[in-house]
Structure 1
């Protein structure tokens, strides 16, 4: 086990909370019970009006740094504030309604130390209350392709290499509101490796109050903007070249009228040809992924 010392910590765990009193104590306990000791725990109260501050003020751990927003600034702006205060070599994402398994920090720290080209690393998760463990993509090149369609990293499981964030000026783009984590990872692929490790390191709580449930429609609107933006930035498409509705239907595996099948095939070929020029995606994985979407939609 690694002991905490007077030097900057190896990891900064950053966790915003807004009216999270129901699950907050369990989330905090899961971090303070880690087998890895060399970390600081930055908790940002985002203008809570419930018992959140009372819980935070009761903490006596030296590892804990509590920041308080004067008003409710939102999840991602609060994360940016916390990251701005972070002293660690790595930043671990944490949500105030989730539970990290005891070896999470130890496992992710060891992986990042052994893989210096990786800038963002997620893990497998266990859903609460169902107990199910979805299999995420672990092949980095396939994950890069799959991000054309969706965010296949569990945000609260991520560890980020702060050196890379600073070097490439990466943080959460607050213009994307409820999908800023999707955007952060999508931009990260341009500069370094982003991947998932097949270890279940976090319990992800599903409930009606979480962003992905309460703000689903808005989250999808911003996710659609990111899906289109990747075509422009990664492959060089001009806005007028993109059949937006058709592209989004394909990426989201929606059923498409059979009369549009030829249009869809031509669009997929256009993506492949742009990539041949740019070389951004691994060709075989891109073609296989797009073909699989075509089969589902028709």
Structure 2
């Protein structure tokens, strides 16, 4: 009996209207030895389960469960799978027919490579920018910890493939990271393997305005917050021999250090909310800024927040922000 080489794993929560495109793009992969494991994570839309169960293909395994959240659901999909390599897939996204073949060939070519991504295209679904496409280019083929620790994450998660052995060696996904769970995993994997990004567009990443992270400022900030904590955890492991998630689990956040990057994010979100006269959101982000590195910009934003409390101040604030880039 031939063992499975690649397990394509994904977690679904609703988005039933995109099930067909997503799963078909996987079943049409130009590769002979793979399985697709889908965890239906307690979708409230009954059509999601119906659509998933409608496929009649022996390579597809569907697991229905109560809602646990993405991290537990994708971990369950991997636990059920049997492949030597794990390919992650975003719910509703679409793969080029050569994605699995090219990534598996890269892992086959060098046992030191444990994680491989590819170039991808972002496509917006819904909202004012519906249909807008943007190619996400990352020119470095070889990725080190340095690239994960500074700038945007070189891998977008949904297009990643990795060795099961390295995934297990690194400890798998951690539920502390509701968002940025991929960056946290990559920063642990990179100690055990080399990382490659194929210079081919093999993946279409769909950004859903109805329920996606990218269109919700508070979710987006939490993603950035957890990304910074994942980076801090990397340095903590180097310095202490452990990180605070390992040591204290759900209480690890008490040990987060002030971050200049989060200072910039909170100030930007606060100013943007003030421009939109969304004073409640501005207050929310300003309160978060108090826990980060204090800078001149913090005190300038403090003045703007003080002005927002009064009618005359709000009028002056509108004039000031109108000309502020």
TM-score range, shorter chain: 0.7 to 0.9
The one of the two structures with greater contact order (alpha-carbon pairs below 8 A, sep at least 6) is 1
Partner residue of 1:210 out of 202, 212, 223 = 212
CA distance in 1, matches of 2:93, 2:190: 26
* 2:150 is aligned with 1:155: no
Equivalence for 2:134:
132
CA distance in 1 between partners of 2:116 and 2:170 (Å) = 18
Number of residue-to-residue matches in the alignment: 251
Larger Rg: 2
Q: What's 1:276 paired with?
A: none
> 5 Å matches for 1:1-298?
6-50=1-45, 51-69=47-65, 71-128=66-123, 129-141=131-143, 143-149=144-150, 150-166=152-168, 168-208=169-209, 209-214=211-216, 215-235=219-239, 244-246=258-260, 248=262
Q: Kindly report structure 1 stretches of 4+ aligned residues shifted beyond 6 Å.
A: none
In the alignment, is the contact (CA less than 8 A) between 2:103 and 2:161 conserved in 1?
A: yes
- Cα deviation, 1:211-238, whole Å, max 9, x if unaligned, reads 3444212212211211222222235599
Distance 1:245 1:11 in 2: 39
- Whether the 8 Å CA contact 2:19–2:52 is kept in 1: the answer is no
Partner SS state of residue 206, structure 1 = strand
**Secondary structure class of the residue paired with 1:147:** helix
Structure-2 change in CA distance of 1:249 and 1:117 (3 Å): farther
The answer to whether the 8 Å contact 2:96/2:202 transfers is yes
TM-score (norm 1): 0.76
State whether residues 173 and 182 of structure 2, in contact with CA within 8 Å, keep that contact through their aligned partners in structure 1: yes
Contact conserved, 2:119 with 2:201, CA < 8 A, in 1?
yes
* CA deviation map 1:77-134 (0-9, x unaligned): 1111011111111010001210000111111111110021111111100121333222
Q: Which residue of 1 aligns with 2:323?
A: none
Unpaired stretches in structure 2, ≥5 consecutive residues: 124-130, 245-255, 269-293, 298-325
Superposed CA deviations along residues 160-194 of structure 1, whole A, max 9, x for unmatched, are 1012223x142111111111111001111111112
CA RMSD of aligned residues (A): 2.9
SS at match of 1:8: coil
Q: Distance in 1 between matches of 2:110 and 2:157?
A: 20
Alpha-carbon distance in 2 for matches of 1:127, 1:224: 23
> Which is worse superposed, 223-232 or 45-54?
223-232
Give the Cα separation in 1 of the matches to 2:187 and 2:264. 18
Distance 1:100 1:14, change over 3 A: same
CA contact (8 A) 2:9 2:74 kept: yes
